[in-house]
Amino acid sequence: MIHCRRSLFGFIATAAILASLSTIPARADNYSTGFESPQYTAGIALVGQNGWLEYGSAINSVETFNVYAGSQAVFVDGSGTGQSGPYYPDAPPDAGPLIDLSAELYIASSSSQSEWQFAATGPSLVGYIGGVDLIPDTSTQDSIHLITGAGVDVGLLTLNTWNNFNFLFNMTTQTYSFSLNGVLIDSGLAFCGSNGGCTGATISTYGDSFFDVFGAGGNDSGYMDNFSVSDVSGVPEPGSILLLSSVAMLLGGGLLRRRARS
């Protein structure tokens, strides 16, 4: 009788844990792309394809000659003047509170380099959340400048190679973290707030993700692949999922052993 009760308890506990795993909230808003065919057509501008818009007038296109994965990526010409580049509007705007932004970026070296930027704003490009400025340092490196109240320089970026840029924006605390190539570089960074001097104004919803250039008549170029923006609110850490799965397996194994003994 005792063995039966223990077996029943193990079964109920296992079922409860498995049920909790099955009801983990899914990402409420998730957009990712490798800019592949047939969703994207190579040889023409990215802007106008699948909801992408443009700030300014930089020449941009879906291309096949420099890719991180697959057969297509995005090219942005840095030879123009002024700030310009493609951006993806999150419609409707997302309150999160946790928004993850990621992309593979490649900045090519040149004899006349421009400043590049990968960042996020509020809806309709109003209200600056945060991101990075990539500022020419040497012929083979850019300085990585995190866009926040006082601004933070966190090292150098190697040119002529693909690098993964990842941000986790917390719309509740109005702070974000930055990781480069899977390594956490900095966290607790305050949202910039304004589109000008980072006054710290509150931005309640996530609006736009953009990759642009501050062209100064240079002859350089930038590339983007594997872009994603996701609402990860309520998604547990991978370690938490592994722990719950392990407990469930142990309870399930105990149930089978008890049945074998009985």
pLDDT tens, 188-226? Answer: 999 999 988 899 899 999 999 999 999 777 778 999 999
CB contact burial 132-168 (16+ within 10 A = b; e otherwise): bbbbbeeeebbbbbbbbeeeeeeeebebeebbbbbbb
Neighbouring C-beta atoms of residue 118, cutoff 10 Å: 23
Q: Answer whether residue 1 is part of any domain.
A: no
Residue 239 has pLDDT above 60, yes or no: no
Residue 191 has which token pair? 């949202």
Cβ contacts of 48 within 8 Å, gap of 6 or more:
none
* Alpha-carbon gap, residue 18 to 33, rounded angstroms: 31
Q: What is the pLDDT of residues 156-169, one digit of tens each?
A: 999 999 999 999 99
Q: Answer whether residue 229 is part of any domain.
A: yes
Question: What are the strands of the beta sheet with 81-94, ordered from one edge?
Answer: 53-55, 81-94, 206-216, 115-121, 128-136, 141-147, 152-158
- Using an 8 Å Cβ cutoff, are 250 and 153 in contact? no
Residue 211's beta-bridge partner residues? 118
Cβ contacts of 206 within 8 Å, gap of 6 or more:
90, 93, 94, 95, 96, 99, 120, 122, 129, 169, 171, 229
| pLDDT band with cut points at 50, 70 and 90 for residue 227 | very high
* CATH code of the domain in which 196 resides: 2.60.120.200
The number of distinct structural domains making up the chain is: 1
Predicted TM-score of the model (pTM) = 0.79
Q: Answer whether residue 241 is part of any domain.
A: no
pLDDT for res 29: 66
Q: What is the pLDDT of residues 76-131, one digit of tens each?
A: 998 877 899 999 999 889 999 999 999 999 999 888 888 999 999 999 999 999 99
What angle do helix axes 238-261 and 2-22 make, rounded to 10 degrees?
A: 160
Q: Answer whether residue 11 is part of any domain.
A: no
Q: Answer whether residue 116 is part of any domain.
A: yes
- 92 vs 173: which has the higher pLDDT: 173
* Alpha-carbon gap, residue 218 to 79, rounded angstroms: 5
Of residues 155, 149, 156, 157, the one with CA closest to residue 188: 149
Q: Answer whether residue 253 is part of any domain.
A: no
* Alpha-carbon gap, residue 236 to 21, rounded angstroms: 10
Residue 258 has pLDDT above 80, yes or no: no
Residue 172 has pLDDT above 80, yes or no: yes
Q: Answer whether residue 14 is part of any domain.
A: no
Q: Answer whether residue 84 is part of any domain.
A: yes
pLDDT for res 113: 86
Phi-psi sector, 218: left (phi>0), alpha (psi -120 to 50), beta: beta
> 209 lies in which domain range?
27-235
Residue 173 has which token pair? 């605390």
Query: Which amino acid is residue 127, in one-letter code?
Result: G
Residue 246 has pLDDT above 50, yes or no: no
